[in-house]
Structure 1
Amino acid sequence: MRDVDPSVVPRWAARAEEAEFSTLATIGRYAYPGVSDTVSLAAAAGATSRIGLLSGVLLAPTWPAALLAKEIASIDGVSGHRLTFGVGAGLREEEFTVPGLGARGRGARFDADLEVYREVWSGKPVGENAAVPAGARQVPMLFGGYTDRALQRMVRWGTGYIAGSGSVAATAPRFEAAKRAWRDGGRSGEPRLVSLAYFVLGDVDAGLANVRDFYRLAPKEVADNVVPCVSPEMVRRSVAEFAELGADELVFVPVTDDVDEVARLAEVI
């Protein structure tokens, strides 16, 4: 959310682990007054020891590939290999803030970057030296996005698909498309299916205002599908509906930085 208090991140992470939630996740934005995904994930890694970490999703083509690969391997290592790298190509042109890494051509650049990530994580030299310490692993990746190309990347590189915050009705066809692409691509088993759900159980008015602000410039079809859970009943219904849909995990994303929201959510579910 806009103007989040950065000092909340480690406290939120510690409370979420104490409450025995399974995962802590970030939401990727750069041209917005928040905390960077990598900083939040590193802070959460240092404040916890068991809970999973997820970038949901990080806008990968906005970064130089080797640098991002090193950042992700470093966070994964610091956390004791608890990180899942959720990635997407990005929608908003203003997010592409690095000169030479604009929105144009991001898909082709993303495909090339994925090759670089694997090479860096395997210890291939970047210049004269490897970029990561011995013991770095191939960090598991989930892919988000609304295109067939995103699903093709998932099949080639990923362990599953991550849907943005939205209704079960909107998410169901994306999950089905992911499973179909997985089978058609010859992958064994089933893809891991994860979805996000915004929630606010404290100051509902402030939370809804933050969501409207965050999605103000998003494509209409994306913004219109974002309906935060604002009551215990809505939270419980989302859990039940996404479980029935076959989601492996539903990650509730706060829309205020009130750390007491962790306890409120834990009490409900």
Structure 2
Amino acid sequence: MDIGIGLPGHARWTDGTVLVEWARRAEARGFATLSVSDRLAWWTPEPLITLAAAAGATSRIRLMTSVLLAPLRANHALFAKTVATLDQLAGPGRLRLGLAPGLRQDDFELSEVDYGTRGAQFDRLLDRLATATTDDDPVGPRPATPGGPALLFGGTSKATLRRIAARGTGWIAGDATVEGVQDFTPHLRQAWADAGRPGSPRVVASVMYALGPDAEPAISDAIGSYYAFAGNEYAHYGISIAYTRSEQITAAIAAFDQAGCDELIFMGNDPDPAQVDLLAKAIDLNR
């Protein structure tokens, strides 16, 4: 199972160069993937711009949105151009797009994008993204990756299964639990088989972490405020399932591996780049 690391974009970062330093350290420490999350009504950095900076600061580590709120990108041709440009900057095979329709209505209100039709808009965007890989598309450039970057879809709905089976390479689960992965993957593999897809879908799970003496306050501050919109009960749940000790992290790796995950991504909650080194040490990446 691959191990990735997620930028602390939803935490209280104040200096964008810190996120670039996370990218450099993540590659130097041997993580398989660097991911970035997405929100509009928050201080989360714009994901594709952030990954462009990470692409320029690194050369090998894979880059992923985890997840991009796709329907907010209402100009589908411009989105396709942006993705193709980022794929060119990163180089073939490095970029993967984790995509989801989004849940927060305030993100859509601020974008002046209709929340109720976001699923249909999502599908139209995917159609346009596919067109961007063909020689007939007047919008350029073409992606560096043949066929365009790999697509993974978030969520557990029937529409998610449909999009994965028709267009995707797999599923990405945010704030994942082992039980949640075990519950959904049989439906995922069945949908994949029913569509006649060869092989098996990739399963990626992401979880929250912070390490060191200030881990628990960092988790409480970052996750508590991020999920406050859903009420105290949900915010406390998010805090409770985050990982703050090395032994929890090693146990999570074993459990998600046993559950059939292909990759586990630890999303940062403390902007200090030393968090990259602490995580690498906890899982002994450089052994």
TM-score tier, shorter chain, comes to over 0.9
- Per-residue CA deviations over 1:92-138 (Å, capped at 9, x if unaligned) read 01112323x2212000111111110000232443xxx3232475642
Partner residue of 1:175? 185
- The counterpart of 2:176, out of the listed 159, 166, 169, is 166
The aligned counterpart of 1:235 is 249
Structure 2, unpaired ranges of 5+: 1-9
The answer on 1:9 being equivalent to 2:9 is no
Any unmatched runs of 5+ in structure 1? none
Distance 1:222 1:168, change over 3 A: farther
| Structure 1 position 186 matched with structure 2 position 199 | no
- Deviation by residue 1:198-257 (Cα, 9 ceiling, x = unmatched): 100032212222111111224899753561101001100110000001100001110110
Select 1:209's aligned residue among 190, 201, 221. 221
Q: SS at the partner of 2:229?
A: coil
The residue that corresponds to 2:276 in the other structure is 262
Distance 2:182 2:231 in 1: 20
Q: Partner letter of residue 248 of structure 1?
A: D
1:162 and 1:195 in contact (8 A); partners too: yes
**Which residue number corresponds to residue 116 of structure 1?**
128
Check whether the contact 1:61–1:89 (CA below 8 A) recurs between aligned residues: yes
Tell me which moved more, 239-248 or 206-215.
Answer: 206-215
Aligned-residue offset at 1:156: 0.4
Describe the shift of the 1:211–1:134 C-alpha distance in structure 2 as closer, same or farther (beyond 3 A).
closer
Give the distance between the partners of 1:261 and 1:121, measured in 2 at CA.
Answer: 38
Which residue of 261, 264, 275 maps to 1:247?
A: 261
Equivalent position of 1:88 in the other structure: 100
Aligned mate of 1:131, from 113, 129, 140? 140
Asked if the contact 2:84–2:143 (Cα under 8 Å) also holds between the matched residues in 1, the reply is no
Give the structure 2 partner of residue 62 of structure 1. 72
Q: 1:46 to 1:219 in 2, by over 3 A?
A: farther
In the superposition, relative to structure 1, how do residues 89 and 98 fare at CA in structure 2: closer, same or farther (>3 Å)?
same
Count of residue correspondences: 265
**In the alignment, is the contact (CA less than 8 A) between 1:122 and 1:136 conserved in 2?**
no
TM-score (norm 1): 0.93
Task: Look up the equivalent residue of 1:262 and give its one-letter code.
Answer: V
**1:121 to 1:221, Cα distance in 2 relative to 1, 3 A:** farther
1:56 counterpart SS class: strand
**Per the alignment, do residues 218 and 77 of structure 1 end up closer, same or farther by CA in structure 2, a change over 3 Å counting?**
farther
Please, which of 206, 209, 214 is the counterpart of residue 196 of structure 1?
206
1:28-47 aligned within 5 A: 28-47=38-57
Match of 2:111 in 1: 98
Range with bigger deviation, 206-215 or 249-258: 206-215
Q: Return the alpha-carbon distance in structure 2 between the equivalents of residues 250 and 53 of structure 1.
A: 14
- Alpha-carbon distance in structure 1 between the residues aligned to 2:100 and 2:178: 21
Conservation of the 8 A alpha-carbon contact between 1:13 and 1:44:
yes
TM-score (norm 2): 0.87
- Separation of aligned partners in 2, 1:243 and 1:135: 31
Q: Which has the higher contact order (CA 8 A, sep 6+)?
A: 2
> 1:76 and 1:88, CA in 2 relative to 1: closer, same or farther beyond 3 A?
same
What CA RMSD, in Å, does the superposition of the two structures yield over aligned residues?
Answer: 1.9
Q: 1:32 to 1:259 in 2, by over 3 A?
A: same
Alpha-carbon distance between aligned partners in 1 of 2:31 and 2:145, rounded to the nearest angstrom: 26
